[in-house]
């Protein structure tokens, strides 16, 4: 079972989210940026391109982000087994 992980390190706070697919994680990253754009850039207009928005937001900043797939098959199986064991 694959999940997409979104990890953001911004302003000393680490955010980690699991998503079903890359488009969902990307959309969450863009929402994160949109919610903080004005605080970071005051009057600078928001670029219409999402990719440009992401690039500008994290440029010249110690902040970082990552969208990556992770295989959680073993975790999924362990959770299924734990659930079955608790039902007995």
From the CB of residue 27, how many other CB atoms can be counted at a distance below 10 Å? 13
Model pLDDT for residues 11-44, shown as the tens digit of each residue: 999 999 999 999 999 999 999 999 999 999 999 9
Given a cut of 60, whether residue 62 has pLDDT beyond it is yes
pTM: 0.82
| Tokens 């000393």, residue located | 12
| Inter-residue contact 25 to 17 (CB < 8 Å) | yes
């Amino acid at each position: 079972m694959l999940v997409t992980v979104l990890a953001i390190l911004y302003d000393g706070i680490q955010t980690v989210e699991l998503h079903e697919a890359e488009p969902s994680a990307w959309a969450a990253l863009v929402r994160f940026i949109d919610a903080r754009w004005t605080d970071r850039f005051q009057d600078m207009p928001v670029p219409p391109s999402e990719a440009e928005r992401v690039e500008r937001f994290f440029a010249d900043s110690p902040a970082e982000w990552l969208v990556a797939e992770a295989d959680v098959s073993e975790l999924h199986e362990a959770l299924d087994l734990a659930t079955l064991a608790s039902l007995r």
